[in-house]
Amino acid sequence: MRYVYALILAMLLAPGVNLLAQFSESKIRVGFDLGATLGNDGVVGDDLRSGFRLYGRYLFLSDLLQAEAGLGGSRIAGGSSLYDTRIYPADLRLLIGPHLSEVWNPFIYGGVGVAKYHVNRPTTSPTASDGYDGFGTYIPFGIGLQLKPNPDATFALDLNLGANLFLKDEMDGVVDGKNAGCVAVYMGFEYLFDSGSDDSDGDGLTDAYERRIGTDPHNPDTDGDGLQDGAEVLKYKTDPLNPDTDGDGLQDGAEVLKYKTNPLNRDTDNDGISDGDEVNTSKTNPLNPDTDGDGLRDGAEVSTYRTNPLNPDTDGDGLRDGEEVLKYKTDPLKVDTDGDSLSDGAEVLKYRTNPLNPDTDGDRLRDDEEINRVKTDPLRMDTDGDGVIDSEDKCPLVPGVVAKQGCPDEAPPKRGTVLNFSDIYFIVNTDQFDTTRAETAQNLQKLLAYINQCEGMVVAIEGHASREGNETRNKQLSEMRAARIKTWLVSQGVRADRIASTQGFGSSRNAVPEPAPNSAEAKKMDKAQLEAIRKQNRRIAMRVVKGCE
């Protein structure tokens, strides 16, 4: 018996016990043990006998202490036939467990109990007070070990080695002035109610599991990323100890709850820009690889082409960045890639010219000159088809002959000749050319061709109007339009001194007789016939002041 006492004392005095570790989150436990007892009579030899015990335990005081209540049955016997006592003990014990691990927990115990006993073969006569049956108190103490297969198991193996010190001499049937006692070795199973189920912070993970993975069981969001630890582990598979699992610059909570991005993929839309950079720097959509829908991925726009991923047409030329890069091979950062003063969009969509070549048809006139100044076709080297390319044709819109540099093969008009051009149209009530009508450009070129027949020709430009409207305004408009013709001729290379004068006559010099507006004659006439007359009177006239002779 003294060896048991020494073992228990050594455990009580053992240094270095970690009282902060946890064995289990279970507060209530019940168990059943089977074992053997060895009586310690001290006079006769002792024999081993079987025993059992039922108990319930409760953890308290920060899980350091366990209170236990138990009852059972056992025997102590000696010398094979000298004594044999059946004992039915019930006791209260206090277990002190340092809780070194989640799966094993050593403990010491001590307590007090009362036992019903019956002596089968007493070696002496019973006392008067108790006889062969009675009750006696005893003191249980010893050491033990609880073992679990894993931290979340609901049962444990219970092992204990201890002693029961009876406080009554005759409980073993031998009255010898010495208290009876026994050594007990028991092993059994203990069921753990709510084992591992405590969730102190309500984050969906048990406290035991949190301690195992390193999270704080008293903080529902250990890494402070806006997601509870349970959601990170069980739902999103993110790291509850790292606020930005994928390292993209966005916290896991923001990815899941605000931006709907994947917290496990730093580039959710696979566009070449991390989710954090999209949200914080480029302001693009981390869920859309092509935020502006221009046909280029956001990453390519930012890193490769330097275009604006939020603007489908960075240079504003009328072509989307993706079309410029992938289809037309133009520069998405330049409005006019070939430098011909026409935007890339206008060349592709309106004029069908080559935005990479300033002279699409190779006639030595830039596309913009053909369109805006000469009015020739930038897709044809020889717009009028007379065998002279547009850059060398002095009459590029009027078929001519090579000998006269593309101008008509006609005798130059003599002094006093008047040529009428009724198909040069102006916007109503202005002196601006109506370029929506093809006849305007064609007849301007004819007029230019006539004056270019020789360097010495000098002309006067006259403006005329039909009888419609106010005559004063008609005269004013005809003067403005005559002056506008001179300005255009000069812009085409005609020397200003070859235009002797510009003059407006209003409707005072009609080319053909025209009935007065609202007159009976005008009302009787067919509208188309009346308009044909008025058109002849609305005209630009060129009068030759000095001919080529």
Rg (CA), the chain: 57
Pairing of strands 539-546, 499-504: unpaired
Mind listing the pLDDT tens digit for each residue in 193-252?
A: 765 567 889 999 988 788 889 999 999 999 999 999 999 999 999 999 999 999 999 999
Whether residue 35 has pLDDT greater than 70: yes
212 within some domain: no
Higher pLDDT, residue 81 or 15: 81
* pLDDT for the residue 62: 57
Q: Of the given ranges (137-141, 268-272, 382-386, 450-454), which has the lowest mean pLDDT?
A: 450-454
* pLDDT for the residue 368: 96
What is the domain extent for residue 58? 2-193
364: phi then psi, degrees, rounded to nearest 5: 70, 20
375 within some domain: no
Whether residue 329 has pLDDT greater than 90: yes
* pLDDT for the residue 129: 44
* pLDDT for the residue 487: 95
159 within some domain: yes
* pLDDT for the residue 41: 62
- Ramachandran quadrant class, 421 (left: phi over 0; alpha: psi -120 to 50; beta: rest): beta
Per-residue pLDDT band at 122 (split at 50, 70, 90)? low
Indicate if 246 and 146 belong to the same structural domain.
no
What distance in Å separates the CA atoms of residue 449 and residue 451, rounded to the nearest whole number?
6
Contact indicator for 361, 380 with CB cutoff of 8 Å: yes
* pLDDT for the residue 518: 84
Per-residue pLDDT band at 397 (split at 50, 70, 90)? confident
* pLDDT for the residue 194: 64
Indicate if 44 and 118 belong to the same structural domain.
yes
State the Cα angle at 30 between 28 and 34, rounded to 5°.
155
E-strand stretches of 120-180: 133-147, 155-166
* pLDDT for the residue 44: 52
| % of residues, the chain, pLDDT over 90 | 59
* pLDDT for the residue 21: 37
* pLDDT for the residue 45: 57
Per-residue pLDDT band at 454 (split at 50, 70, 90)? confident
DSSP state of 426: B
Higher pLDDT, residue 215 or 167: 215
Indicate if 163 and 236 belong to the same structural domain.
no
Indicate if 320 and 253 belong to the same structural domain.
yes
What distance in Å separates the CA atoms of residue 30 and residue 69, rounded to the nearest whole number?
10
Indicate if 7 and 132 belong to the same structural domain.
yes
Indicate if 239 and 326 belong to the same structural domain.
yes
**178: domain CATH number?**
2.40.160.20
| % of residues, the chain, pLDDT over 70 | 89
Tell me the residue type at 429: N
* pLDDT for the residue 133: 81
**467: domain CATH number?**
3.30.1330.60
Indicate if 172 and 307 belong to the same structural domain.
no
Averaged over 256-260, what is the pLDDT? 96
394 within some domain: no
Query: What number of helices (H) and strands (E) belong to the chain?
Result: 13, 12
88 within some domain: yes
In total, how many domains does the chain have? 3
Of 351, 376, 400, the position where a domain reaches its end is 351
Please name the residue that has the structure tokens 């301690």: 211
Indicate if 41 and 147 belong to the same structural domain.
yes
* pLDDT for the residue 7: 38
pTM over 0.85, yes/no: no
Q: Which residues contact 230 (CB under 8 A, 6 or more apart)?
A: 203, 204, 205, 220
230 within some domain: yes
Residue 369 to residues 115, 274, 363, 372, Cα–Cα distance (Å) = 121, 48, 11, 5
Whether residue 475 has pLDDT greater than 90: yes
218-236: buried (b, 16+ CB within 10 Å) or exposed (e) per residue?
A: eebbbbebbbbbbbbbeeb
SS (H, E, C) 4-68: HHHHHHHHHHCCCCCCCCCCCCCCEEEEEEEEEEEECCCCCCEEEEEEEEEEEEEEECCCCEEEE
Q: Of the given ranges (179-183, 290-294, 362-366, 402-406), which has the lowest mean pLDDT?
A: 179-183
Contact indicator for 65, 108 with CB cutoff of 8 Å: no
What distance in Å separates the CA atoms of residue 424 and residue 442, rounded to the nearest whole number?
8
Of 173, 193, 213, the position where a domain reaches its end is 193
Average pLDDT value for the chain: 87
Mind listing the pLDDT tens digit for each residue in 66-92?
A: 999 999 999 888 765 567 889 999 999
Averaged over 268-288, what is the pLDDT? 96
Please name the residue that has the structure tokens 């720097």: 281
Indicate if 179 and 319 belong to the same structural domain.
no
174: phi then psi, degrees, rounded to nearest 5: -120, 115
Averaged over 38-65, what is the pLDDT? 78
544's enclosing H/E stretch is strand 539-546
End-to-end CA distance of the chain: give it in Å, rounded: 153
215 within some domain: no
Of 334, 351, 368, the position where a domain reaches its end is 351
Indicate if 14 and 154 belong to the same structural domain.
yes
Indicate if 43 and 108 belong to the same structural domain.
yes
390 within some domain: no
Q: Which residues contact 235 (CB under 8 A, 6 or more apart)?
A: none
Per-residue pLDDT band at 547 (split at 50, 70, 90)? confident
